[in-house]
């Protein structure tokens, strides 16, 4: 994964570290170099602690077995396990990062469900490729009165919303769609909190 050819004026291990940094989003070659050099000024113990944190990250943080949010290994996420949340309303998002954005907007006090994408026939992504079976299971096992569909407001996100409405509305569940206000085609992960709060509070029945 890291591109060791990014720089060659450093010892190999430092080059490798710089290569990893450069693989992160928003980090260009020069920034990666600065980050790598910054580590060289840390105490060795601190660098080792950083490395250990990274080494354990994917074992310690996993997908919530219920909703798909980030969760500590072996447990449901903090939202699914919170008695302070409404458990009769589920907001359906494409990606886990959208949960974090909606949480920042403090506009929703229910639970979530991460689909893992959106319907996209052109890219060969059908309902069976999304986390829909698990959603059906949740709705069978728990009393849920409303699904809020917060997929991206582009063609594929709308198609996904309509598919879910067609699936769940006949079962007596209110299916609502977040309001316009989120720019068309915008990635919800980057929508600002006020816009999202407004989109959720003005959601409409599908
Ligand atoms: Zn969860």
The domain spans of the chain are 4-61, 73-205
Residue 191 neighbours by CB under 8 Å, 6+ apart:
101, 182, 183, 199
Over residues 107-136, the mean pLDDT reads: 94
Calculated CA dihedral for residues 164, 169, 172, 173, nearest 10 degrees: 40
**Ligand 1 center to residue 114 CA distance, Å?**
9
**Ligand 1 center to residue 153 CA distance, Å?**
24
Model pLDDT, residue 153: 84
Burial class (CB in 10 A: 0-12, 13-18, 19+), 52: exposed
Find, among 159, 165, 74, 77, the residue nearest to 125 by Cα: 159
SS3 21: helix
Record the tokens describing residue 49, joined without a space.
């602690």
Question: 125-171: per-residue pLDDT in tens?
Answer: 999 999 999 999 999 999 999 999 999 888 899 999 999 999 999 99
Domain 73-205, CATH: 3.40.1360.10
Residue 185 scores a pLDDT above 60:
no
**Ligand 1 center to residue 70 CA distance, Å?**
7
What is the spatial distance between Cα 92 and Cα 73, in angstroms, rounded to a whole number? Answer: 22
Question: 24-39: per-residue pLDDT in tens?
Answer: 999 999 999 999 999 9
In this structure, CATH architecture of domain 4-61 = Orthogonal Bundle (1.10)
pTM: 0.81
Residue 8 neighbours by CB under 8 Å, 6+ apart:
15
Over residues 48-76, the mean pLDDT reads: 96
């Amino acid at each position: 994964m890291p591109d060791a050819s990014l720089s060659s004026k450093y010892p190999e291990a430092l080059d490798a570290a710089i290569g990893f940094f450069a693989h992160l989003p928003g980090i260009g070659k020069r920034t990666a170099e600065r980050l790598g050099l910054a580590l060289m000024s840390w105490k060795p113990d601190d660098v080792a602690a950083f490395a250990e944190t990274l080494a354990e990250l994917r074992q310690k943080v996993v997908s919530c077995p219920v909703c798909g949010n980030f969760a500590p290994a072996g447990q449901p996420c903090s939202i699914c396990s919170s008695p302070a949340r409404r458990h009769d309303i589920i907001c359906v998002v494409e990606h886990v990062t959208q949960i974090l954005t909606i949480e920042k907007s403090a506009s929703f006090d229910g639970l979530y469900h991460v689909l893992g994408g959106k319907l996209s026939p052109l890219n060969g992504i059908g309902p069976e490729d999304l986390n829909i079976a698990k959603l059906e299971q949740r709705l069978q096992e728990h009393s849920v009165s409303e699904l809020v569909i917060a997929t991206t407001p582009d063609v594929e996100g709308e198609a996904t919303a309509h598919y879910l409405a067609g699936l769940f509305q006949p079962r007596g569940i209110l299916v609502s769609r977040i309001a316009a206000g989120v720019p068309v085609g915008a990635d919800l992960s980057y929508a600002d909190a006020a816009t999202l709060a407004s989109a959720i509070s003005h959601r409409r029945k599908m």
